[in-house]
Each structure stands twice: as C-alpha cells, then as structure tokens.
Amino acid sequence: MSAPLLEIRDLHVALPAGSERPYAVQGVDLDLAPNEILCIVGESGSGKSLMSRSIMGLLPKPHVRVSQGSIRFGDEDLVTVSDARLRQIRGSDIAMIFQEPMTALNPVMTIGDQIDEVFRFHAKMRRKERQERALSLLDDVHIPDPKATMSAYPHELSGGQRQRAMIAMALALDPKIIIADEPTTALDVTAQAQILKLIKEMQEAHNTGVLFITHDFGVVADIADRVAVMQGGIMVEAGTAAEVLNNPQHPYTQNLIESVPSLTPRPPRVQAAEPVLQIENLTKTFRSGGGLLGFGAKERIVHAAKDVTLELRKGETLGIVGESGSGKSTVARCIVRLVDAEEGKILLNGTDLRPLGRAEMRPYRARIQMVFQDPFASLNPRTKVGKIIAQGPMIQGVPKAEAQERTRELLSIVGLDERAYDRYPHEFSGGQRQRIGIARALALNPDVLVADEPVSALDVSIQAQILELLDEIRERMTLSMIFITHDLRVAAQVCDRLAVMRSGVVVETGPTAEIFRDPQHEYTRALLGAVPGKEWRAG
C-alpha cells in the first residue's frame, strides 16, 4: 500500500454540554489510501457523518468541534490549518457528495452556475473555458443532454440526475479525496445501482481515495475495498471488505450483518384460498394545471393507478413493490379510502367500499387499518400514547374502560412497557414509535392491515425487530396484510406473494419465491438486478 492520503489519529469531536454523550466521535484512527474506497458503516447516531464533516471543517461550529486528535492531509493538519487554506483545500483537493441532492443543491441557481463556481474560486480560467469544462464534466457523469442541463434548475432534474450533477461538481478539479455521505440513500434502487457504478468508475479513472459513508451493508458489499464500522462514536471494527463482511469479529458488526434481510425468499406458507380483499380495475388519476378557459398551464395527468387488480387472501401477506412514483402508495391510500379512486372495485369480504359515503364507510374503517412510513410524523405530538391507541375503538363505540384495558394489553403485545400509556410520542425512539403505530392499527381488530413502507425510516437492526413483530402479530391475530416496500430484501422476508408496480401499472404478480427465481417482466428483472450486495448475501 502506498503512503496514505489521509491519516486520522485519535479524533475526538465534542458535542455541546448537555447532549446525550460528550463526544460524537471518540478516538477514531483511520487511514485512507489513494485509489481505494473506504466505507464507514454505522446506524443513525454512530457519528459517521460528523466524522466525515470534521475532515473538511464542516462541523456546525461553534457548538460541535474537534477537541482532540489530528487529521493529516499531505504535510498539513486539517484540524489546525487556517480558514483560508481550508477553503483552498475544499472543493479542489477534497470534495464532498451529499445524501439528498435536492436540498444539497441551491434551488434558485442553475446547475451550470453551481459547477462554474468551483472553477471560479479555485482556478484562473476564462468563462468560455470554464463552461467547456463544466459541459465535459456533465458528459463524463453520463447526464443525457449536458447542454440543457447546464441551464436547468435542480428541480427540473430527476433524483439520479441531480446526484450525477452533484458528482460532476465534486469531480470538477480532480480532487485527491472524495467524501460521499450516503450518496445513494435518497435514490431509487435502479438509480442507486447506476450511481454506485459511476462512483466506482470515476474513482478508478482518477485514482481518487473515496470515503464512503453508508448504513447499507448491501452497498458496502458492492463498492468497498475496506470497511470501518462505527457505533456510538467509536470505531469498533476495521478491515478489508472481505474480512468484515464474511467474518465479522465484533458482536455489533455481527449483529448488524445478521440483521440484513436475506434475498432468498422464505418458504411459502400454506394459505387459505378464500380472498379477504379484492381490488378490481382500480384507477386513480391526478390532474394539475388546466384551469379557467384553458388559459392555465398545460394540464398534467398522472396515472397513479391504472386498472390495478389484486387479490389478498385470508392470512397472507401481499407485497406491493416498486420505485418512487410507481403508484404503490396511492393504491394503499385508495384501499384505506384516504384517497378516492375514480373507478374500480374495492371488495372487502364481498362488499364494495369504493362508492360508500362517509357515514356508510365508518363501520368498515375498523376493518382495514394502516401503518405509516414515518413514525415521527404519523403520531400526534400533543396526544399521549394511550389516547392515540384507545381513540380508535372509542370512536367505534367501545366503552372507555374496555378500550383502555385493551390498549395496555396491546402495548405489551408490541413489546412496550405499560408506562408508555401516559407518555408523549417524542419520548420514544423511531422503532418504539413504529410499535405504537402498529398498536394503534391493531386496536380496532382489523381484518386487513395496510403497511406503507413501515420499516424504511428505521435502522437495519430496528428494522429486523419490527419485521419480527409484524410476523408474530400476523400469526397471532390471523391478519391479512398488504405490505408496501421498495426494498426487495424486506419483501423477500415478509411477503407470501408479490405485485410489482411501475408507473401505476401492476406489471407482474405471483408467489414471492417464483418471482425471485424466474422474473417474467423486464422491469422486475431490472429491480432484482439492482439490489445492492446481491452476490454477497444472496442466501
């Protein structure tokens, strides 16, 4: 191995007094060599992001600061170097790619101008030359139509293209080090696969050292040369990718890797053939624009669901998988009648729910319940947990005492302490909140549970626990479940049957194991092909 590009020794990042812990990062030692990809893996709160930001001096000063240790880059220490010098290094020697390209790009500035800035501040070049360089950069990162992209604003590009533009910006001055902070987390799986490939390609072409921060072991398996695992600000394990992934030493790493769902579908369960819920030719279109006398903007029509036909059998879990914009959430919302579909039938035990009015629908509300994606936004922050759960049954006419009794029972079923009853949602962690959300849905004794990405906002170890809980509850209460997810690994572990959606259309349905073994539609094949780390943990 050649001399390291970056040497981090005994790095401590101090948090302001009164925080959960005194140090966000504690005693981290790390080397980054040229032409390698080093993945820093950890769950939320592990300090991986702050660690990477301290390298570029991007900590939210003055509250959070490097209190001890050194970061050697060449013959300088980035901890003590002057602000002016640090500015020179940023963007030219060390560049950064962020997680959410929509917010990381200035919304009111064109892509061309934002790339141009890097040249303007670091190199003396004429405007024409700068523009040519920017164009060729956009071409390098395979953006279709680089010329148009130059004058486009961030909101006019797709997520994947925005991230490509972000990468172009980072590559502008051929930096020695690129720090990528969860660069693919906000992207769809197919876009993620492309961006990972692009980063790898760029890194090889330019001999760059890449510090890649991620929480996803699948991504690590696809891209990493070396891996460092962080927990609570401490680096618990480091080694080559093969070592860490296949033979983890530290119990935390072992647990994390254990929690990554396998891509091999679990054996199908014996099911009843009788359907609980039948969706027939469900259609939902969103319109915008148009307006008065046709003087409005061009009318835009989005077919969020088009002729969707699904069947949910008693006791089974039906997965709906697809990327963002595929209409999977719209279908879920139509079933729960949060959104009114304009055509089709929603048959619950033979009764069509779609045409029912508010009052007629009320008795059926309890029969279908929903678990939402974001456990932080879906619970009323001003209402105590007990009330959140008991409210549903009480509205349906259950006496107060009985509803409260049931609530306490449910809390213990979902694995929460009974004392949770009198506390507010903000006192709980994300995983616990999702348990509350599940208890709330179960309080009404539904026949059908619709879960819309219930684990995608959670860390992988918490995700495993919640999936286990859902499994347990499904057995215990003979629930039928519609499970919406973008993550095929999760789908493989949870769903008996799958429906694959794209642009509002169901392109393929079938038993999970069959779809994984022999996908019929090319889109399903593309989705399966894009799952990160599929060679590593296929089975």
Partner 1 sequence: MSRTARRLRYVFKRLLQALPIVLAIVIVNFFLLHMAEGDAVDVLAGEAGSATPEYMAELRAKFGLDQPLPVQLLVYLKNVFSFDLGYSFRHEMPVLDLVLDRFWPTLLLMVSTILLAVGFGIVLGLLAATGLNTWRDTLISIFALVTYATPLFWVGLMFIVIFALNLGWFPTSGMKNVAAFNDTWSWANIKDVAHHLVLPTITLSLFYLALYTRLMRASMLEQAGMDYVTTARAKGLTENRIMFVHVLRNALLPVVTMAGVQVGALIGGSVIVESVFAWPGLGMLAFEALFSRDLNLLLGIFLLSALLVVAVNLVVDIIYSSLDPRIEVG
CB of 129 to partner 1, least distance (A): 18
Q: Which of 14, 78, 96, 451 binds partner 1 (CB under 8 A)?
A: 96
The H or E element containing residue 348 is strand 343-348
d(CA 52, CA 213): 8
As a whole number of angstroms, the longest Cα–Cα distance in the chain is 77
Question: Residue type for 53, please?
Answer: R
Residue 83: Cβ-neighbour burial (10 angstroms; 0-12, 13-18, 19+)? exposed
**302 belongs to the binding site for partner 1 (CB under 8 A):** no
Q: Which of 1, 270, 297, 401 binds partner 1 (CB under 8 A)?
A: 297
CA distances from 212 to 228, 254, 306, 379, 382 (A): 10, 20, 40, 34, 39
Q: Which is nearer to partner 1, 155 or 525 (CB)?
A: 155
Q: Which of 88, 185, 255, 271 binds partner 1 (CB under 8 A)?
A: 88
End-to-end Cα spacing for the chain: 33
CA distances from 125 to 138, 163, 171, 176 (A): 18, 25, 17, 21
CA distances from 321 to 461, 484, 494 (A): 22, 6, 12
Q: Which of 7, 33, 58, 125 binds partner 1 (CB under 8 A)?
A: 58
**92 belongs to the binding site for partner 1 (CB under 8 A):** yes
Total binding residues toward partner 1, as defined by CB under 8 A: 33
Whether 521 and 507 have beta carbons less than 8 Å apart is answered as yes
CB of 96 to partner 1, least distance (A): 4
Q: Which is nearer to partner 1, 100 or 374 (CB)?
A: 100
Q: Which two tokens stand for residue 377?
A: 């936004």
Q: Which of 270, 273, 293, 401 binds partner 1 (CB under 8 A)?
A: 293
Question: Residue 143, Cβ neighbours under 10 Å: how many?
Answer: 24
Question: Residue type for 391, please?
Answer: Q
Length of the chain measured in residues: 539
CB of 222 to partner 1, least distance (A): 25
Q: Which is nearer to partner 1, 100 or 514 (CB)?
A: 100
Q: Which two tokens stand for residue 119?
A: 């040249």
**177 belongs to the binding site for partner 1 (CB under 8 A):** no
**98 belongs to the binding site for partner 1 (CB under 8 A):** yes
Q: Per-residue string for binding with partner 1, 139-168, x by CB under 8 A?
A: --------------x-x----------x--
Q: What is the CA radius of gyration of the chain?
A: 25
CB of 89 to partner 1, least distance (A): 7
Q: In what order do the strands lie in the sheet with 234-240?
A: 94-97, 177-181, 209-214, 37-41, 226-231, 234-240
Q: Which is nearer to partner 1, 87 or 400 (CB)?
A: 87
**455 belongs to the binding site for partner 1 (CB under 8 A):** no
Q: What is the dihedral of CA 487, 489, 490, 491, to 10 degrees?
A: 80
The interface with partner 1 within residues 101-140 (CB under 8 A) comprises 103-109, 117-118, 121-122
The interface with partner 1 within residues 213-242 (CB under 8 A) comprises none
CB of 108 to partner 1, least distance (A): 5
Q: Which is nearer to partner 1, 121 or 427 (CB)?
A: 121
> Looking at 8-16, 82-90, 270-278, 399-407, which segment touches partner 1 (CB under 8 A)?
82-90
Q: Which of 87, 147, 269, 400 binds partner 1 (CB under 8 A)?
A: 87
Residues that bind partner 1 (CB under 8 A): 56, 58, 87-92, 95-96, 98, 100, 103-109, 117-118, 121-122, 153, 155, 166, 169, 292-293, 295-298
